[in-house]
Structure 1
Amino acid sequence: MENYPLVGRELEMNELRSYTARARFSNSPVISVWGIAGIGKSALVRTLYYDRMLHSNQFNKYSWVDVSHPFNLRDFSRSLLLDHHSEKDPIKECRELLSQNQCLVVIDDLQSKEEWDLIQSALVSRPSSSVIIVITTEASVATYCTNNEGQVFNVKGLEAVAAMDLFRKEVHRKNPSSPLKDHEDMELEELILKCGGLPKHLETNPDYECLKGLFDWMHSYFRTCPDSLKPCIFYLSIFPRHHGIRQRRLVRRWIAEGYCRDSDEESAVDRGENFFSKLLELSIIQQIPQLVTTAYNDTSMVSCQVNGFIREYIVSRRMEENLVFELGPKCVLTTHRTGRHLIILRDWDRDKIVFESIDFSRLRSLTVFGKWESFFVSKSMRLLRVLDLEDALGVKDEDLEKMVKRLRRLKFLSLRGCGEIFHLPSSLGDLRQLQTLDVRHTSILKLPASITRLQKLQYIHAGTTVRASALPAPSSRLPKFHRRRGLFGIKVPKGIGKLTVLHTLGVVDVGASGGKAVVEELRKLTQLRKLGVSGISRHNSKDFFSATSGLVHLESLLVRLGKDSQGCLDEITLPWENLRSLTLHGLQDKLPPSENLSKLMKLDLEMDALKEDDIEFLANLSELCILRLRVGQLQDGKLHFHAKMYGEELVTFKKVKILEIASGASELHVTFGSRSMKSLELLKIDCSSASYHLTGLNFLSELKEVLLQGTNDEAIKSNLESQLANHPKAPTVKLEELPRSS
């Protein structure tokens, strides 16, 4: 299924024209466009429909029909005929009109498969050179209307800059003598952000009264959504506008709130991930522009934002439903402060009197952005299930002890990014309902023994990024930038194997946790889907890899090898048939066997040396979509992404959409073949240690962006831009400084 941004680059418009032209002479005369209601009509399809060149060259009659509900085929036919109808039966006349002419017909707001069955059986016949474009809000309806999946378009909302640019063009088209003034630009940019990239709503009325109609539609739209999805949608208003939301954070919170539950058919996690995918499809949430890629059609790595327009609607409803209460810059003392979810924003003045005026008796979640204050934990928060302090400032060990003592019903606890937390108290074992514990990027080095009492714990995310001095370097030959920062695991207690419902665990320092003893504990965690370990050496590697053989559900594995890892992959079998993501850091000069990596979609390698045979190994990973290579040395200083057989170049790396390269060599030559990486969209190159010579960039036909990391040299950027000057996709080139060590 195609995913095109709303009125994207001219290439995308031309592509849709091409599909329309092909549809005239195919057995699939129908093109389906789906997304949030109104988006397709407002931009992509309307632009196509009113394209005079398209009409004059391909069609001699055209009509736009808004489907009325309840649906009536006779009334629909009359609307379609417009000024073409006579005294004949309208249905019969429509059928004749479509079969005898080259018609372009747009059917807007089709809501069900039954409506399409009536239209198709009565009006659509073959042979015909007419084309029908169907606009709907449902993906299932869109795919039902055409038997060609390549002619189904999922229309996304515009990014803010593109939305503003479209609006300027519309103003100029309608009134060339009155361009937008600078101060009007600023006001409109703010409003467009709230409209979630739907600038058509601002076209006609200077007071924007037409937004009221859209809110009325939105109310109806949400009313018809599945009941199971509604709480997840309204929950999104917890996160501020522009705030990036990680999928795992959101899904784990939904589970803690009871929005996603285990059933015989699917787990709560699977259900939550399906909900997330549905919201992404509907453009209720949108990928952050800097992270947009269609890599492997998988949302597990997606960081998103709430669609601005939809968020405005949700916020307008949340107080009516008594759902969410927000402490921000405009808060005043009032007696009407209650709700299920409390948000404390960065710009609230931390007024203790205002805080203590709130009724916490029904509070289910507390989310803090910015500075933490010790009075934020109240004795009356007895029903609190979710405490989310990700990246909050000033949270200390004594605050955590108070939280654990008072909030015994917690199911979700996130201290992620709270660097002043050094210890988890032994009283953590009293949180018997806890399902999720996220202490990633804190100063915590070990888990307390009491954690083994938490029989409902499913998700432990720990470990932090530290300076190189705190990490054992796998090899002195690794380039300096590899040793600058790394992921440091934590020590887990004896008995960790009792947590048999865990499906995510990491990063565990195997060496610090007892070596072979902790490996035997890991063997008992048969429900694990994601596992991260560090401290793997030749002394414990065989036991570790043997233990993973029983983890049949494992989909994601991270392994950081220690300094004593020479030969640790020799003579081992890796039973990783279901792995989709694999991270191997600290390899010396040997890759693992590839026989059981047929499903691998993401591979992150850090190793001393990479040989030509290793590239062939990578090329044989047929499902690979994301490839990250950090290599100390390369054979002859060359990296060739292509392969030949009998003198003919083979199709290789055909699904790779993201490629990242870093090397310790002073100079590196990278070559792309004419039949390699034809799907690549994003190329990242670390320029902090090596200078790169790139050949064959124009063969990368889908390339959208090249990101040069670790440099601010404009000359490097300009040289690369000149190489890409004739590239059909006109990819952008950006400079990005690497994060400093801290």
Structure 2
Amino acid sequence: MNELRIYTTSPRFNSSPVISVWGIAGIGKSALVRHLQYDRMLHSNQFNMYNWVDVSHPFNLRDFSRDPIKECRELLSEHHCFVVIDGLQSKEEWDSIEAALVSRPSTSVIIVITTEASVATYCTTNKEQVFNVKGLEAAAAMDLFRKEVHKKNPSSPLYRQRDAELEQLILKCGGLPKVIVSIAALLARETEMLMDNVHSLNHKFIQHLETNPEYESLRGLFDWMHSYFSTFPDSLKPCIFYLSVFPPGRSIQRRRLIRRWIAEGYSRDSDEESAVNKGEKFFSKLLDLSIIEEIPRPVSTEFSGDTNTKVVSRRVNGFIRDYIVSRRMEENFVFELGPDCALTTQRTGRHLVVLKSWDRDRIVFESTDFSRLRSLTVFGKWESFFISQSMWLLWVLDLEDALGVKDEDLKKVVERLHRLKFLSLRGCIEICHLPSSLGDLRQLQTLDVRQTSIVTLPVNIAKLQKLQYIRAGTTDPASTLSVSSSWLPKFHRHRGLIGVEVPRGIGKLTALHTLGVVNVSASGGKAILEELKKLTQLRKLGVSGISRHNSREFFSATSGHVHLESLLVRLDRDSQNCLDEISLPWENLRSLTLCGLQDKLPLSRNPLSKLRKLDLEMGILQEHDIKFLASLPELCILRLQVKQLKLHFYAEICGVQLVTFSKVKILEIACSSSELYLTFGSKSMKNLEVLMIDYSSASYELAGLTNLSELKEVLLKGTNDEAFRTQFANTLANHPKSPTVKLEGLPFLFLSRITS
């Protein structure tokens, strides 16, 4: 229902800004106002000077017996007002409202709420006044729940009770205040059967909300969701329902999901657009719709080419996931083996998920109909009987979250599942070899064997002409590293950057756009570089074993890779000077990682105008190198692994400081020295949001932290010293943004700043 709500205020605005808001359904007015109050743009004194009153005047825009615009105009003529237009659906509706309300100077403020991004941007000419409102974060959602319970029943044990099942229930609410408040109101009245009701709600969440008369207030939300889902294009619908493959709260890797979509045929190549680009757009659309939500986490530093500047992991919104699950069985799209599976249950569908909580009953598994199965995803313990002869149509086998997969299991997979397009063994550390029969998987597009014990790719991999994506890498003993691993940050020690040996003939895989990490020295040196030269479609490449003996050939081999956007290079020991005087073909790079440098940064002669993410592992970063980094126009993420004592992030001309590192939002520093002195200039890193410091081997003296005016979070890695965290937080007490200080080894606490 579209409503126009008006609140009389005492404003200090000189004009009438239109703040246009769009986002997830069911956020509600109260959460919207809370969100805006803590937004950077509305931290101004003007907005905070509003005096809210309890009087509101709602008008139904579709109640044709009244003229809400006329009544609104009369009210505006008598009062300065805060106007909320909730549920605007079209640009035409805004045109009629704008003509009546915004066509003349006013001291009122208008907020437009819509679920359509195009409508939101249409309502204002100022892009900074368009907000995508998300659901409440976990801590804020629980805080709202407890407050509502306390309001209804101050003696309820739920006000202070901490229970995993209760937390799971609140997660299912998806951060929607309307749902949280409704559940709080019902549970606040319960006494003896309280936890039984919590369990029942968890077990059949959507069914309870849709059928229980106690939740009558949510009927409009479900009606809206039904119509909203029906408006999605046919190309996006299967991508949405596919999300129920991931259990509640499970982190979703963007690349993993997109590669699965491609294998399933939900994202296809066309004359106008590649399947990868189309998948990226689908993913971004689901983020915009808040179907997939972003959760603050430490920065991912693996070789991925991901140039996002946010510190996030991603998961399906809890409420929307349960809504999807409640509808998916209508077509047997996704089905699960979980704790409630019984032998009498009919199980068939396109996508099977084996949950960690399932008891691994072989009789139940073998009674399942696999004739339509296209994907198998396993969470938790692997069993050898999970591969069935009747799975001959399987396209996707995702064992990234499986435990106990062995070489003999993989051999059976390759022998039986010849139609596989996607195979992920990531993290299966007991896998040591890829069988030579891998070459029989002629449809294979994606192969992910990171964090396994595989050190060599088989010769027959060259037969897989449809391969687009190979990710591999092992962790060698510390003695084989080109630098001491004691001061390597975790993203170098445990992300498999040493690489694997690849066979001759890899150059035949001309469809490859992602390859890494290849150990050039182990793979035949210059000969393998000739193979790499043929892979001109590469977008992402990772190599190790670059030395003075092969460096010129490596850069010559990649000089024709005009599509290359992400590059990782690890130098061999004592190969510092191998990059000198070489013009590097990196003008299109957006992500670059250089490991094993000493005291010289070989970048100043090379155009890097598009670079957004830079990881450097080196001994000493010279002053002129810092000035070069400061000049990179698009740099957003900077990670430094150094040995030196002092780092000064500023630049001067004639004693006047210059604006430097203007777009950097994330800075990570690790140091092997016993001390480190950091200085931030008054005009440096003015947009920095996250500062990460490896505290494991150094003490720090930091100057100019208050100059980092947008700093939101400091992460101290390598320590669990709560006293030090508190001391560090005290030094930031007067910072204008009041940044949070966290320890890497402790759970991240999402502190709610939402007022009641």
TM-score if structure 1 supplies the norm length? 0.88
- For residue 41 of structure 1, report the CA deviation from its aligned partner: 2.3
Q: Does 1:274 align with 2:294?
A: no
What is aligned with 1:724?
Answer: 732
Q: Does 1:657 align with 2:665?
A: yes
- For residue 425 of structure 1, report the CA deviation from its aligned partner: 1.1
Match of 1:472 among 481, 491, 502: 481
| Separation in structure 2 between the aligned mates of residue 21 and residue 291 of structure 1, nearest angstrom | 40
| Separation in structure 2 between the aligned mates of residue 366 and residue 128 of structure 1, nearest angstrom | 60
What is aligned with 1:436?
Answer: 446
Q: Does 1:265 align with 2:285?
A: no
| Separation in structure 2 between the aligned mates of residue 59 and residue 332 of structure 1, nearest angstrom | 57
| Separation in structure 2 between the aligned mates of residue 431 and residue 47 of structure 1, nearest angstrom | 50
| Separation in structure 1 between the aligned mates of residue 51 and residue 161 of structure 2, nearest angstrom | 42
What is aligned with 1:256?
Answer: 263
| Separation in structure 2 between the aligned mates of residue 301 and residue 498 of structure 1, nearest angstrom | 38
Match of 1:609 among 599, 617, 620: 620
**Does the CA-based 8 Å contact 1:457-1:499 persist in structure 2?**
yes
Q: Structure 1's 435 and 477: CA in aligned 2 closer, same or farther, altered over 3 A?
A: closer
Match of 1:627 among 634, 638, 646: 638
Counterpart code for 1:473: S
What is aligned with 2:564?
Answer: 554
Q: Does 1:224 align with 2:225?
A: no
Q: Does 1:163 align with 2:141?
A: yes
* Percent of residue pairs bearing the same amino acid type: 72
Q: Structure 1's 46 and 619: CA in aligned 2 closer, same or farther, altered over 3 A?
A: closer
Q: Structure 1's 267 and 101: CA in aligned 2 closer, same or farther, altered over 3 A?
A: same
**Does the CA-based 8 Å contact 1:442-1:463 persist in structure 2?**
yes
| Separation in structure 1 between the aligned mates of residue 716 and residue 219 of structure 2, nearest angstrom | 45
- For residue 191 of structure 1, report the CA deviation from its aligned partner: 2.6
Counterpart code for 2:638: L
What is aligned with 2:191?
Answer: none
| Separation in structure 1 between the aligned mates of residue 120 and residue 53 of structure 2, nearest angstrom | 23
Q: Write out aligned runs for 1:52-67 (5 A).
A: 57=51, 63-67=57-61
What is aligned with 2:125?
Answer: 147
Match of 2:67 among 64, 69, 78: 78
- For residue 737 of structure 1, report the CA deviation from its aligned partner: 4.1
Q: Does 1:328 align with 2:306?
A: no
| Separation in structure 2 between the aligned mates of residue 307 and residue 58 of structure 1, nearest angstrom | 32
| Separation in structure 2 between the aligned mates of residue 529 and residue 601 of structure 1, nearest angstrom | 15
Q: Structure 1's 600 and 99: CA in aligned 2 closer, same or farther, altered over 3 A?
A: farther
| Separation in structure 1 between the aligned mates of residue 525 and residue 284 of structure 2, nearest angstrom | 39
Counterpart code for 1:244: S
Q: Is the partner of 2:610 in helix, strand or coil? A: coil
- For residue 689 of structure 1, report the CA deviation from its aligned partner: 1.4
Q: Structure 1's 56 and 468: CA in aligned 2 closer, same or farther, altered over 3 A?
A: closer
What is aligned with 1:91?
Answer: none
- For residue 166 of structure 1, report the CA deviation from its aligned partner: 2.5
Q: Write out aligned runs for 1:187-202 (5 A).
A: 189-202=167-180
Q: Is the partner of 2:67 in helix, strand or coil? A: helix
Counterpart code for 2:541: L
Q: Structure 1's 302 and 456: CA in aligned 2 closer, same or farther, altered over 3 A?
A: farther
What is aligned with 2:23?
Answer: 35
Q: Is the partner of 2:507 in helix, strand or coil? A: helix
- Cα RMSD of the aligned pairs, angstroms, is 3.1
**Does the CA-based 8 Å contact 1:556-1:581 persist in structure 2?**
yes
What is aligned with 2:713?
Answer: 705
What is aligned with 1:89?
Answer: none
Q: Does 1:118 align with 2:96?
A: yes
How many aligned residue pairs are there? 696
- Bigger shift: residues 622-631 or 717-726: 717-726
Match of 2:240 among 214, 218, 233: 233
Q: Does 1:581 align with 2:591?
A: yes
**Does the CA-based 8 Å contact 1:679-1:700 persist in structure 2?**
yes
Counterpart code for 1:29: P
Q: 1:399-452 CA deviation, whole Å, 9 max, x = no partner?
A: 111111111111100011111111111111111111100011111111111111
Q: Structure 1's 230 and 568: CA in aligned 2 closer, same or farther, altered over 3 A?
A: same
| Separation in structure 2 between the aligned mates of residue 186 and residue 506 of structure 1, nearest angstrom | 40
Q: Is the partner of 1:168 in helix, strand or coil? A: helix
Q: Does 1:667 align with 2:675?
A: yes
| Separation in structure 1 between the aligned mates of residue 356 and residue 581 of structure 2, nearest angstrom | 54
| Separation in structure 1 between the aligned mates of residue 165 and residue 451 of structure 2, nearest angstrom | 39
Counterpart code for 1:371: K
Q: 1:173-198 CA deviation, whole Å, 9 max, x = no partner?
A: 67779795434987754332111111
**Does the CA-based 8 Å contact 1:473-1:563 persist in structure 2?**
yes
Q: Is the partner of 2:521 in helix, strand or coil? A: coil
- Bigger shift: residues 248-257 or 392-401: 392-401
What is aligned with 2:105?
Answer: 127
Q: Is the partner of 2:619 in helix, strand or coil? A: strand
**Does the CA-based 8 Å contact 1:192-1:199 persist in structure 2?**
no
| Separation in structure 1 between the aligned mates of residue 108 and residue 399 of structure 2, nearest angstrom | 57
Q: Is the partner of 2:620 in helix, strand or coil? A: strand
- For residue 203 of structure 1, report the CA deviation from its aligned partner: 2.5
- For residue 159 of structure 1, report the CA deviation from its aligned partner: 1.3
Q: Is the partner of 1:399 in helix, strand or coil? A: helix
Instruction: Specify which structure has the bigger relative contact order, considering alpha-carbon pairs within 8 angstroms and separated by 6 or more residues.
Output: 2
Counterpart code for 1:133: I
Q: Write out aligned runs for 1:330-349 (5 A).
A: 330-334=340-344, 336-349=346-359
**Does the CA-based 8 Å contact 1:59-1:104 persist in structure 2?**
no
Q: Is the partner of 1:684 in helix, strand or coil? A: strand
- Bigger shift: residues 611-620 or 354-363: 611-620
Q: Is the partner of 1:609 in helix, strand or coil? A: coil
- For residue 585 of structure 1, report the CA deviation from its aligned partner: 0.4
**Does the CA-based 8 Å contact 1:644-1:650 persist in structure 2?**
yes
Q: Is the partner of 1:464 in helix, strand or coil? A: coil
Q: Structure 1's 143 and 628: CA in aligned 2 closer, same or farther, altered over 3 A?
A: same
| Separation in structure 1 between the aligned mates of residue 464 and residue 145 of structure 2, nearest angstrom | 55
Q: Structure 1's 549 and 134: CA in aligned 2 closer, same or farther, altered over 3 A?
A: same
What is aligned with 1:25?
Answer: 14
**Does the CA-based 8 Å contact 1:396-1:420 persist in structure 2?**
yes
Unaligned runs of 5+ in 1: 1-16, 86-93
Q: 1:317-349 CA deviation, whole Å, 9 max, x = no partner?
A: 111221111001111002521000000011111
**Does the CA-based 8 Å contact 2:691-2:714 persist in structure 1?**
yes
Q: Structure 1's 366 and 202: CA in aligned 2 closer, same or farther, altered over 3 A?
A: same
Q: 1:648-671 CA deviation, whole Å, 9 max, x = no partner?
A: 111111111111111111111111
- For residue 168 of structure 1, report the CA deviation from its aligned partner: 3.4
- For residue 78 of structure 1, report the CA deviation from its aligned partner: 2.2
**Does the CA-based 8 Å contact 2:378-2:399 persist in structure 1?**
yes
Q: Structure 1's 215 and 564: CA in aligned 2 closer, same or farther, altered over 3 A?
A: same
Q: Structure 1's 480 and 593: CA in aligned 2 closer, same or farther, altered over 3 A?
A: closer
Q: Structure 1's 280 and 487: CA in aligned 2 closer, same or farther, altered over 3 A?
A: same
- For residue 288 of structure 1, report the CA deviation from its aligned partner: 2.5
Q: Structure 1's 292 and 550: CA in aligned 2 closer, same or farther, altered over 3 A?
A: closer
| Separation in structure 1 between the aligned mates of residue 536 and residue 621 of structure 2, nearest angstrom | 34
What is aligned with 1:597?
Answer: 608
| Separation in structure 2 between the aligned mates of residue 605 and residue 326 of structure 1, nearest angstrom | 44
Q: Structure 1's 466 and 309: CA in aligned 2 closer, same or farther, altered over 3 A?
A: farther
Q: Is the partner of 2:667 in helix, strand or coil? A: strand
**Does the CA-based 8 Å contact 2:380-2:401 persist in structure 1?**
yes
Q: Does 1:504 align with 2:498?
A: no
| Separation in structure 2 between the aligned mates of residue 677 and residue 410 of structure 1, nearest angstrom | 47
Q: Is the partner of 1:545 in helix, strand or coil? A: helix
Q: Structure 1's 397 and 297: CA in aligned 2 closer, same or farther, altered over 3 A?
A: closer
Q: Structure 1's 218 and 127: CA in aligned 2 closer, same or farther, altered over 3 A?
A: same
**Does the CA-based 8 Å contact 1:35-1:283 persist in structure 2?**
yes
Q: Does 1:458 align with 2:468?
A: yes
Q: Is the partner of 1:134 in helix, strand or coil? A: strand
Counterpart code for 1:678: K
